[in-house]
Chain A
Amino acid sequence: MAPPTVVSMVLSHGGESSRSDRPAGRGTTKRTTVDVPDEPSHEAGGGPGPRAASADRAAARRAERRAERVSGGARELEQRLTDLLRGGLAAAGRPGHGLWEETAARMVDAQAPGLAGRARELASIPASGAGWPARLLEECALLHLLDSAWLRLGRLPGPLAATVRTRVGLTAPAGGPAVRDQWLVLARYDTPDGRIVTRRIWLYGRNSERIALLLSYGAPGRAPAHALPVGAVIDAEVTPYPGGGGLRVELGTEFGEPVVTGTPPPGGTAADAVAAYGNALRDDPWLDAWPATLRDVVPAPSGDGWQLVGVADGSALPVAARALSRPGLWKLVALSGGGPLTVFGECGHRGFDPFAAWCPEGSDGVGPGEAVALI
C-alpha cells in the first residue's frame, strides 16, 4: 500500500552519476517538459483554433526553456554541494563564508526559487548552536535529494513529480476535484518573506475531516488577500494544488457569510501526530512538519523548554524552539492553567509548533469551543 519513498525512487535507478557534465541532464529535461506544458492546455475547451494551438505551442516552448534553465541551476547546485562535501562542511562554518548567499543568487538566476530559498536557509545553520554540522548535513542531503529528483523528474510517479516541481519552485495551478465543506479557520498568520508577506490560513473540513492550507501573498505595505478570522466557519469549495501531500488548496466559491461557531477539530494523541508526519514524509520527504490537532494535552515545563503532555497516556511532544520565544506560548500556558486543552499546530522533526488552542467546557479560560490564536 505504501508507495516507495522518493529517496528510493530517486536513488535506486543506479548508473548515472549526477556529476556527469553531460546528456544525462539534457535527457531528463526532455522528459520533464513532457509533464510541464499541460498547464494552460486544458483551458482551451471549446474549439482550439489555429491561434489557440499556436499559443499552446508558445507556452510549451516557454515552459521548456524554463525547465532547461532550472536544470542548469540544479546541476550547478549539485556541483557546489559535492565540492563542499569534498572540502568539508567545516568550511561553511567560518565567518564571512558567502557560499549560500551566492548559491541562492545563482538559483534565482536559474528561475528556481525553491532551490534558492532552501540554499539561503542553510546560511543560518552554522550559527544555530551545538550540533550544527549534523543539521547542516541533513539539510544539504535534502537539497541534494531535491536537485537529483528534479534532474530525474521523468522517472518519478506523477504525485511525486508534482511535489518535486512545487518544491523546486515551479507552481502549477490548483487542479484537483473541488471539495465543498464547512471549513473551520484554525489559524492565520503572516510571515515576512523578503519584501512580500506570506499569509497562511489553516482550515479544517468538518465533513471531510481534512486539513487544508490557504496561502496568499501581500505586496510591500499591503495586507494579503484573505482575511478569515480564527474560529470562523465558511461553507466553501476548495481545490487542492498538486504535490506536497495535497495540503495546499485554493479557495473557490464561498456559500454565504462566515459564521463564528465552532467546536475544535477532534484531536489525537502525540503518537498520532508523529505518525501522521511520518506518513506525510513518504509523499514529500522535504516536509519539516505536518498539521496535527492534539486532544487533552497540558503544557509542562521541561528543562529549558516546554512539552505538551497528553493526560491520557503521559506521552509528550517537545514545543518547537521557535515557538518558545513567541508570546503565544504564555497564552497557551495561561489558558491551560495546568488543565488539558485541545491544541492545533504543526508536528515535525523540530517538535510541535502550537498555532491555536481551545479550552474544554467548564474551565476558567475562554468560552468552550472558542479558538484562541497563539501565533
Chain B
Amino acid sequence: MPTTVTSTGAPVNASWEDLVSSAVLGTDRRPLRTEEGAAVSPSALLDAAAAHTVRRRAALRPAVGATLPAPAPADLRPPLPDAARRRLAQLLADRSAQPGGGRRGSAPDLTELIPQWLASAGAHGYRAPAELLPALLDAARARTDLRPHVLAFAGPRGLWLASLNPEWRFALRASSRDARRPDTSDPAAVRRLWQEGLFAERVALLGALRDQDPGRARSLLVSTWSSERAEDRLMFLDSLRSGLSADDETFLEEALADRSRNVRATAAELLSSLPGSALARRMADRATSCVNPDRTGGTVSVAVEAPHECDPAMQRDGVVPVPPSGRGERSWWLGQLVEATPLGVWRERFGGRAAHELVALPVADGWAGELHAAWCRAAVRQRDPDWARALLGAPSTPPANGPGTASPAERSKLLASLPPSERALWVAGFIAAHGLSEAFQLLGVCSVPWDAPLGRSVVDALDIARDAGSYPWSFSGVMGLAERCLNPAEADRLAVLTTTPDEPEGASPGAGGYWSEAFQRLVSTLRLRAAMDAELSQGGAG
C-alpha cells in the first residue's frame, strides 16, 4: 500500500477504495483518517489519489490474449490496379457523404456509378481491397440492389468479416449464387450437401449443377422430389428454367399431377415453352379449335370461337379456370390457350403466313385485342424474335395503333426477345418519332453502353426538349439513364451542349442554365466512366 507524504506533512496510508468512498460522500461526512486518527484534508486526499492514479497507470501490464479468430480463407484473385482502388474508395466515400436530396449540380452522381463499377470489376475478376471491405458491406447493407455484386466482389474475406459484425449479417443470409458457388466436382459431397444442406445451399447447388450438366441436376432433384415441401418444390422447379430442354419433359409431365397448384402451374408453363412437348401439342390442338382462318368474301381474316368450358384436362395442363374479377371467363381461357401454344402452329394453320402477315390479318368480332395480347405473351415466353418484331411493328407507328400492345411494360418484354443491336435501333426509331416521354422503360432493356444510333437519338431528343423550353428535371429519369448508359466515347461530341444558349421565346425562366448544367453533368459523368474503365483495364499492376 503506497504511503504518500502529503502537503500537510502527514502520511496518508489508505487504500484506493477508502479514498473513493470518502471522496464520493465528502470528507465532511466521511472523513479519511491518518493512523494517528487525525482527519485528512481534502487536499491531502487528492494528493494521495493522484499518487495512486499515476502509480497504477505506470504499472499497467498486458492482458492475456483472447482466442484468435480463425483466419479468413485465401482469395486468389489478383488485386485491383492502384488507380481503380483509389476510385472505389472515392465512390464509397461519396456514398456516405451524400446529404440526400437537394438539387443536383453539374457534378457526377458517384453513387449511381457504384453498381457499374462493381459489375466491371467483377467481370475483370479482381479481388476486393481488404481495407475497403467495411465500406462495401455498409453500402450493400443500405442498398439491397448492390448486394449480389458486393458479395461476389467481397469474396471469402468479405464473408469472414461479415461473420464478425452483426450489422452485416445480411451477407451470411444472402444465398447469392455468385457469392458462394458450391463445389460440384465430388459426387459424394454433392449428394451429402443435397441431403443435409440448408435450403439456400441446396438452391445454390442445384443452380450450379444445372449450369454444368442439366441432366445431372434433374436427376438429383428427382431423387428427393416426392419428399420435398411444396414451397421448396416450387423453388427447385424454377431452377430448371435455365438449360430447359426436351429431356426435362417426362419429369415436368409428372409434375403436372403435383399436389400443389403453384407447382402444377409452373410445370405447365415450362412445358409450354418446349414447342415439341406433348403439353404444347395439346394446347395447340385446343387453340386451333378456337382460332381459325376465315376465307369468306375472298380475303382471309381470323375467326375466333372462344372455349365454352374449362375441362379437367385443360386444368391439368395449367389453365386457370377462374378469371380475375372483371374479365369474362371465355376470353380468359382463350388467352391462356393461345399463350401456351407454340407460335409456329399459326404459320401452318394460316397457309404459311409469316408472323408479320399474321398480325396484320383482320380479326373478327372484336377479338383482336385479346388474341394479339396472348400472342405477345407467347412471344415473350417462347423468346421468339420474329413474333416479337411483328408484334412491336414499326417503331414510328404510334403505340396505340400498333399491332401488338400499347403498354410500355409489355413492349419492353417483347424488345428483350430481340438481339441487342436490333433492340437499340428500334428504341432509337421510337424516340425519334415519339420523343422521350414514354421511352424510359424501353431504354431500360437496351444493353449498356448504348449503341451509337440509340445514343444519338436520345441526345437529339434531349436537345429538342431543351429548345422547346421546358425544364430539364422533367427528363431527369432519362438524363440519369443517359449518364449511366451512353457510350463514354460520346463525351466529346456532347461538350458543345454544355454552353448556356439564348433563351428561346416562351421558355421557362432560367431553363437554359439548368440544361447546360445537366449536360455538364452528363459529360463529366461520361468522362468519369471512361476513366473508370481505363483504370480497371490496366491489368493487375497493383
Chain A residues near B (Cβ < 8 Å): 5-8, 11-19, 78, 81-91, 133-134, 137-138, 140-142, 144-145, 148, 269-271, 273-274, 277-279, 281-282, 285, 298, 300-302, 307, 309-311, 314-318, 327, 330-331, 333-335, 337-339, 348-349, 359, 364-367, 372
Closest 4 A/B residue pairs (Cβ): A88-B26, A338-B71, A309-B65, A85-B42
Q: How far is the CB of B517 from chain A (nearest CB, A)?
A: 25
Chain B residues, CB < 8 A from A359: 130
Chain B residues, CB < 8 A from A318: 63
16 interchain pairs, CB-CB under 8 A: A11-B5, A11-B51, A12-B5, A86-B27, A90-B24, A133-B20, A137-B20, A145-B54, A270-B63, A281-B54, A311-B68, A334-B134, A364-B130, A366-B129, A367-B79, A372-B131
Residue pair A331, B66 in contact (C-beta under 8 Å): no
Q: How far is the CB of B139 from chain A (nearest CB, A)?
A: 12
Per-residue CB contact flags for chain B residues 20-58 toward chain A (1 = under 8 Å, else 0) read 100111111110000000000111011101111110111
Within 8 Å by CB of A144, from B29, B50, B134, lies: B50
Chain A residues, CB < 8 A from B127: 364
Residue pair A300, B65 in contact (C-beta under 8 Å): yes
Residue pair A89, B71 in contact (C-beta under 8 Å): no
Q: How far is the CB of B238 from chain A (nearest CB, A)?
A: 35
On whether A18 and B58 interact (CB within 8 A), knowing A90-B25, A133-B20, A366-B130, the answer reads no
B160 at the interface (CB under 8 A from A): yes
A348 to B69, CA, bound (A): 25
Within 8 Å by CB of A85, from B6, B23, B69, B164, lies: B23
Residue of B nearest to A350 (CB): B57
A318 to B66, CA, bound (A): 10
Chain B positions 155-176 with a Cβ under 8 Å from a chain A Cβ: 157, 160-161, 164-165
Within 8 Å by CB of A81, from B7, B46, B79, lies: B46
A278 to B79, CA, bound (A): 42
Residue pair A88, B25 in contact (C-beta under 8 Å): yes
A11 to B161, CA, bound (A): 52
Within 8 Å by CB of A88, from B24, B41, B56, B129, lies: B24
On whether A14 and B9 interact (CB within 8 A), knowing A318-B63, A334-B157, the answer reads yes
A271 to B64, CA, bound (A): 11
Residue pair B131, A337 in contact (C-beta under 8 Å): no
Chain B residues, CB < 8 A from A90: 24-26
Residue pair A367, B46 in contact (C-beta under 8 Å): no
Q: Is the interface of B mostly helix, strand, loop or mixed?
A: mixed
On whether A281 and B65 interact (CB within 8 A), knowing A16-B7, A89-B24, A366-B130, the answer reads no
Chain B residues, CB < 8 A from A8: 5
B19 at the interface (CB under 8 A from A): yes
Residue pair A11, B6 in contact (C-beta under 8 Å): yes
Residue of B nearest to A85 (CB): B42
B289 at the interface (CB under 8 A from A): no
Residue of B nearest to A349 (CB): B57
Residue of B nearest to A152 (CB): B7
Chain A residues, CB < 8 A from B16: 134
B323 at the interface (CB under 8 A from A): no
A11 to B52, CA, bound (A): 13
B198 at the interface (CB under 8 A from A): no
Within 8 Å by CB of B68, from A7, A138, A298, lies: A298
A71 to B16, CA, bound (A): 30
Chain B residues, CB < 8 A from A310: 62, 65
Chain B residues, CB < 8 A from A270: 62-63
B75 at the interface (CB under 8 A from A): yes
A239 to B259, CA, bound (A): 85
Within 8 Å by CB of B62, from A18, A140, A274, A339, lies: A274
Q: How far is the CB of A184 from chain B (nearest CB, A)?
A: 19
Of A279, A300, A364, most buried by chain B (CB within 10 Å of CB) is: A364
Residue pair A339, B60 in contact (C-beta under 8 Å): no
Residue of A nearest to B66 (CB): A302
B135 at the interface (CB under 8 A from A): yes
Q: How far is the CB of B249 from chain A (nearest CB, A)?
A: 47
Chain A residues, CB < 8 A from B66: 300-302, 307, 309, 316
B8 at the interface (CB under 8 A from A): yes
A14 to B494, CA, bound (A): 84
Chain B positions 513-542 with a Cβ under 8 Å from a chain A Cβ: 542
Residue pair A300, B131 in contact (C-beta under 8 Å): no
Chain B residues, CB < 8 A from A301: 66, 69, 164
B485 at the interface (CB under 8 A from A): no
Residue pair A316, B57 in contact (C-beta under 8 Å): no
Within 8 Å by CB of B542, from A279, A315, A338, A367, lies: A367
Residue pair B53, A316 in contact (C-beta under 8 Å): no
Chain B residues, CB < 8 A from A269: 62
B257 at the interface (CB under 8 A from A): no
A270 to B53, CA, bound (A): 21
Residue of A nearest to B9 (CB): A14
Further 15 A-B residue pairs, CB within 8 A, beyond A133-B23, A144-B43, A300-B66: A5-B54, A16-B7, A82-B41, A85-B46, A145-B47, A270-B62, A274-B61, A281-B57, A282-B58, A314-B64, A315-B62, A315-B63, A338-B68, A339-B72, A365-B129
Residue pair B61, A88 in contact (C-beta under 8 Å): no
Q: How far is the CB of B133 from chain A (nearest CB, A)?
A: 4
Chain A residues, CB < 8 A from B41: 17, 19, 82
Residue pair B65, A86 in contact (C-beta under 8 Å): no
A322 to B130, CA, bound (A): 23
A315 to B67, CA, bound (A): 11
Chain A residues, CB < 8 A from B58: 277-279, 281-282
Chain A residues, CB < 8 A from B134: 327, 330-331, 334
